[in-house]
A = this chain, B = another copy of it.
Amino acid sequence: MTFSFELQQQDQAARTGRLVTPHGAIETPIFMPVGTVGSVKSLGPDDLTRVKTQILLGNTYHLMLRPGPEHVQQMGGLHSFMSWDGPILTDSGGFQVFSLAAGEPRGKDKAKGHRGPLVKLDDDGVTFSSHLDGRRFRMTPEESMRIQMCLGADIIMAFDQCPPGQSDRDTVQIAMDRTTAWLKRCQKSMTRTASRLFGIIQGGIHDDLRVAHAQEICESDLFGYAIGGLSVGESKEDMWRICEVTAKHMPNQKPRYLMGVGTPQDLLDGIRCGVDMFDCVMPTRNARNGTLFTSQGKVSIKRAQYALDKDPLDPQCSCYTCQNFTKSYLRHLFVSGELLFFRLASLHNVHFYLNLVSQARAAIAESRFEAFYQTHWEILGTSDAKTASMGP
């Protein structure tokens, strides 16, 4: 099967590359829209193609609950099921099990080391209850691999343990040891030739643990490596210090994936650290809440100031939404609860993310990434809250 990664230009730590999978090639750095339950919420494959999506992420946790891995396999795998012909990466399900299914640990549960009333973690794996109907499930490295192989993604993630962002050294060390042991079991179970495995580096916000775990994980000869356990409650300062130190200890010739990150600013910060791949629900989730990303910062479309605004959301944007509709119309759809809003807003936000990484690639190729970063970083973090008083 055709899999390769070729590092292309480098500009300080930032880099461009070309990742080839059986379902197509991906230019990096890249952002992966998240298709949680078998669709990128409100967007069809036609919309995804239109915004130049290069690779999608599917969530193992959600798909195992509904419609179930065997179901997807019987329908020809996730590509065929959702009619998406391009590359797909699936996560291991672990992160969702820990974050979605875990309630607050109470009384005896806490004493017994339960992560919460719904989740029981041990060295072999994790037992949890579905957030949909309470059904009990057992997830192990082997089971995560089996499910992901049923789904048939091009890139499959190792099953890891991701501790909360502020965890102490002992907690982090246990999670690291488990993650390393689980990676070996994942490698043994990974028998699908049309997929490749990524390992995940933990280590919390402790520089030395991160370096140690990066070395440990990268000893396994894998197709790529991910930085896990960031954007899980730690400060931005900790996050970027750790991202930078971790990336430095990852192999130069393999793709680097920063999991679950993040804002447009985060993408630029990650690229500056030498990260190649990102995923986050933010563009689609924020879209549904009426928060739209633009070249001039965040727009909260419900604001009265846009009621009679004839301009497109972002005059610099070439997406279908910005080429055809005014802020006035988008606001009207949002306040009226019209379903079309979710599609137009999601389409724009995903286009915005993909255009941002595309611009970053061009800047790296022309050795002007730092200037690009300086020009864009601050304005990406602004919002229209400041200009609200100008509205009617």
Contacts and interface: CB of A to CB of B under 8 A. Distances in A.
A45 interface: yes
B42 A340 contact: yes
A326 B39 contact: no
Given A320-B46, A332-B38, A75 B338 contact: no
B38 A308 contact: no
A81 B37 CA distance: 33
A38 B83 contact: no
B326 A66 contact: no
Contact of A39 (B40, B45, B83, B333): B333
A74 B392 CA distance: 15
Interface string A31-59: 00000011111111110000000000000
Interface residues of A, number: 38
Contact of A81 (B328, B338, B344): B328
B81 A339 contact: no
B342 A339 contact: yes
A71 interface: yes
A307 interface: yes
Interface in A293-351: 307-308, 310, 320, 324-326, 328-329, 332-333, 335-336, 338-340, 342-344
Interface of A: 37-46, 66-67, 71, 74-76, 81-83, 307-308, 310, 320, 324-326, 328-329, 332-333, 335-336, 338-340, 342-344
A335 B37 CA distance: 11
A81 to B, nearest CB: 6
The 4 closest A-B pairs by CB, nearest first: A42-B339, A39-B340, A83-B324, A67-B332
Contacts of A329: 38, 75, 81-83
Given A74-B308, A75-B308, A83-B329, A41 B324 contact: no
Contacts of A326: 75, 81
A328 B82 CA distance: 10
A44 B340 contact: yes
Nearest to A38: B332
Contacts of A38: 329, 332-333, 336, 338
Contacts of A324: 45, 83
A366 B324 CA distance: 40
Contacts of A81: 326, 328-329, 332
A38 to B, nearest CB: 6
Given A66-B332, A81-B329, A320-B46, A340 B41 contact: yes
Contacts of A40: 340
B75 A328 contact: yes
A310 B72 CA distance: 11
A41 B339 CA distance: 6
